[in-house]
Amino acid sequence: MSGGEGTREASVVEAQALSKRYGPVEAVRGIDFIVRTGERFGFLGVNGAGKTTTMKMIYCRIAPSAGSLRVFGLDSAAHAMAIKRRIGVVAQESAIDPELSVNENMLLYAAFFGMSGARARLKADELLRFVGLEGKGKAHIRELSGGMKRRLSIARALMNDPELLVLDEPTTGLDPQGRLLVWEKLSLLRAQGVTLLLTTHYMEEAARLCDRLVIMDAGRIYAEGTPAELIAQYAASDVLEIVGDAAALPDPATLDGLVRRSERHGETSYLYTDDGPALLGRLGALGFESRRHVARPATLEDVFLNITGRELAE
């Protein structure tokens, strides 16, 4: 995908003390982040965390209330139109016209960027093949499944060969098969050099798609890094979940330093360790036998739980 000025900036998006206020409500509270050229960058958080508001500022749908936001090195407030020409957007709310066919939706969007005629038709056909919708050009939107509509939204957002593709909750509401298809197409785009910026509240999606991500809650960023870095810093290699038996569970301080941290939520105790088998062996040596337990690798869900103290809402 080619750049509008023939150059490639080291970073695509840079935000400093970025804020957005709606009357008395501060939806985004002074956040800092950088999205590097060619990477897949994610915002992970619950609904209402401020992710969508941040995305809307990046693709110039709304203006920041305070702070600095530069996209492609351009100030977002002063150069909104120049930025929009270089971005593709898959918003959370669908902008597909239900009264038009698949091809008509593609060609209408192409016209926004001055594309028409044979060039636009060839580009639309190419992108429909890319997202697995070949043969669906004459279909009306009501004939498409939810997964097909989401892939159509992605295809349409690529009509202008964007350098940055912004995706707000790209797979919400899709069945597992539809989600896997979208993930596959997004991975292919990254391989083509498109910078991907996405929001999600799905742990697996963030871990699978994002080179780096931030964890956002209540308008603030609480952590940033690769999935592996975040797990290493805020959780551990392994997690031992013990259901019940809290009274009999030995004090973590007596477990030879094997427990990096411990949490209890409801009836379940979470012991974070870098050596699960050794921890189980030590518990057994102390005479503790759990009737119900799970030993598993740590995930981004553990990171979120440890940072915010609550689980992500689906």
Query: CA nearest 147: which of 137, 138, 155?
Result: 155
> Amino acid letter at 86?
R
Higher pLDDT among residues 146 and 22, named by residue: 22
Q: Where are the domains of the chain?
A: 11-226, 236-298
Please identify which residue in the block is written with the tokens 């209402």.
48
Q: What one-character DSSP code corresponds to residue 188? A: H
Q: Band of the pLDDT at 6, cuts 50, 70, 90?
A: very low
Number of Cβ atoms within 10 Å of the Cβ of 202: 19
Tokens of 113: 């960027």
Reported confidence tier of residue 119, pLDDT bands at 50, 70, 90 = very high
Instruction: Write the DSSP assignment of 59-113 as a string of letters.
Output: TTSS--SEEEEEETTEETTT-HHHHHTTEEEE-SS----TTSBHHHHHHHHHHHT
pLDDT band at 311 (very low <50, low <70, confident <90, very high): low
Nearest CA among 56, 134, 129 for reference residue 89: 56
Instruction: Report the pLDDT value the prediction gives residue 290, as an integer from 0 to 100.
Output: 78
- Which of 3-12, 52-61, 179-188, 237-246: highest mean pLDDT? 52-61
**Structural tokens at position 118:** 């044979």
- The band of 5, judged by pLDDT with boundaries at 50, 70 and 90, is very low
**pLDDT(112) > 70:** yes
Identify which has the larger pLDDT, 87 or 254. 87
> Quick one: tokens of 127?
């992108």
Of 3 and 264, the one with more pLDDT = 264
pLDDT of residue 294: 87
Q: End-to-end CA distance of the chain: give it in Å, rounded.
A: 34
What's the confidence (pLDDT) of residue 163?
Answer: 95
**pLDDT computed for residue 310 by the predictor:** 56
The CATH class, in words, for 11-226 is alpha beta
Query: What is the per-residue pLDDT across 8-59, written as a single tens digit (0 to 9) for each?
Result: 568 999 999 999 999 999 999 999 999 999 999 999 988 889 999 999 999 9
Q: Does the structural domain 236-298 have CATH classification 3.30.70? A: yes
Q: Does the structure show a pLDDT above 90 at 172? A: no
- For residue 287, pLDDT over 90 is answered with no
AA identity, residue 82? A
For 25, the token pair is 């409500």
Is residue 78 exposed (0-12), middle (13-18) or buried (19+ Cβ within 10 Å)? exposed
Choice between 43 and 289, residue whose per-residue pLDDT is larger: 43
pTM more than 0.75 = yes
For 79-97, what is the mean pLDDT?
91
Residues 18, 69: contact at Cβ < 8 Å?
yes
pLDDT confidence of residue 313: 52
Mean pLDDT taken over the chain = 90
Better pLDDT: 190 or 34: 34
Listed ranges 141-155, 214-228, 265-279; the one with the highest mean pLDDT = 214-228
Instruction: Tell me: pLDDT of 7 over 70.
Output: no
Question: What is the rounded CA–CA span in Å between residue 232 and residue 8?
Answer: 32
